[in-house]
Amino acid sequence: MAQNILMMGPLPAAQMQQLEENYSVLKLWQEPDPEASLNQVREKVTGIVGVFDRNVSGKLIRALPNLEIIANYAVGYDNIDIQAAREQGVVVTNTPGVSADDIADLTLGMVLGVLRRMVEGDIYVRTGQWAKRGAMPLGRSVRGRTMGIVGMGRVGKAIARRAEAFGMEVVYFGPRKKPEVPYSYYHNLQKMAEDCDILTVACSYSPATHQLIDANILKLLGKNGVLINIARGRVVNEQDLVDALESGVIAGAGLDVFENEPDVPSALCRLDNVVLQPHQASATVESSTAEAQLVVDNLRSYFEKAEVLTPV
């Protein structure tokens, strides 16, 4: 008998086809009355496909008495009530590693965007300011700067390799020193913020990292410092960041994630020293396809072998 899979959002077409060929699939986001549709199948659902921007709440998990696995289509899993899943004996998987290089590419793109004023330059040309006013104010060189990375996992390591290629010194902060990592380790985030020029947030979100980057850290980063966040919006105190940018406490920021996505504070949108992206660090055809296939493979492995490839 086919397993019943509840989908919180879409996967790419090829992976959707694989799911529909092998399972009974309820596309909850397409249902005109999601609650009524869910009530009709709640006893049958054994798997959920989660997506990063739709919550899999404890209430939902507890409402599905036969749920066995949640396969999340994302590296992060803060959209899932992990505690509720554990209490119900539900396996949770994510998609780590496959998008690290694309995330790192966008990270360096935002570093360049902020320091070399690339977004400002594009607007300067498009609005005719170059012809009217002449050369733009100067940007700043990337070479010779120190990048401090918060979180030296797969993504952090990929960012570090690229930063080195651009002539930057790399240092990092995390819960523990990693023997295999050649960069200087800081056990104190405040000290690292004080010593680096670019502070890049690449850690996972958890209660321990909630608003880890606050007014104090930003003040230590200093008036020539740049904050880059490709982790989760809630790792940064967003109001503290707005205040720091508006008052010149730091020089600029590159942000791919926000506290209340997709709502972005209007104050950030008005600032010239900020590069904004719509949570798209891993949003390439290649990464999206690989992550979606890992979701499918986790489900197949679980239902066929009672084991998963990437457990949380």
pTM: 0.90
pLDDT of residue 1: 60
Same domain for 142 and 268? yes
For Cα atoms 183, 185, 188, give the angle at the middle one, nearest 5 degrees.
155
Q: Which of 42, 62, 116, 279 is catalytic?
A: 279
Percent with pLDDT over 90 in the chain: 98
Same domain for 186 and 167? yes
- The pLDDT tens digits of the residues spanning 132-150 come to 999 999 999 999 999 999 9
User: In the chain, which stretches have pLDDT less than 70?
Assistant: 1
For 181, the domain range is: 100-276
Asked if residue 20 is part of any domain, the answer here is: yes
Same domain for 110 and 44? no
Asked if residue 244 is part of any domain, the answer here is: yes
Same domain for 8 and 87? yes
Asked if residue 310 is part of any domain, the answer here is: no
Asked if residue 205 is part of any domain, the answer here is: yes
Same domain for 14 and 83? yes
- The pLDDT tens digits of the residues spanning 249-289 come to 999 999 999 999 999 999 999 999 999 999 999 999 999 99
Asked if residue 311 is part of any domain, the answer here is: no
Asked if residue 312 is part of any domain, the answer here is: no
Q: 162 in the Ramachandran plot: left (φ > 0), alpha (ψ -120 to 50) or beta?
A: alpha
pLDDT of residue 2: 83
DSSP structural state of residue 284: S
Same domain for 109 and 69? no
Same domain for 122 and 161? yes
What is d(CA 298, CA 285) in angstroms, rounded to the nearest whole number?
A: 20
Same domain for 77 and 115? no
- The pLDDT tens digits of the residues spanning 82-107 come to 999 999 999 999 999 899 999 999 99
Same domain for 232 and 253? yes
Asked if residue 251 is part of any domain, the answer here is: yes
Nearest CA among 136, 137, 156 for reference residue 147: 156
Nearest CA among 53, 75, 58, 60 for reference residue 26: 60
Percent with pLDDT over 70 in the chain: 100
For 112, 133, 246, 279, the CA distances from 136, given in Å and listed in that order, are 16, 8, 21, 29
Sequence-ordered list of residues with C-beta below 8 angstroms from that of 110, at least 6 positions apart, any chain: 228, 230, 254, 255, 256, 275, 277
- Our answer to whether residue 246 is catalytic in this structure is no
Q: Which of 145, 232, 238, 291 is catalytic?
A: 232
φ and ψ of 147, to 5 deg: -100, 125
Same domain for 127 and 70? no
Q: How many domains does the chain have?
A: 2
- Our answer to whether residue 279 is catalytic in this structure is yes
- Our answer to whether residue 304 is catalytic in this structure is no
Q: Which of 68, 164, 261, 300 is catalytic?
A: 261
Asked if residue 43 is part of any domain, the answer here is: yes
CATH of the domain at 230: 3.40.50.720
Same domain for 88 and 222? no
Same domain for 292 and 162? no
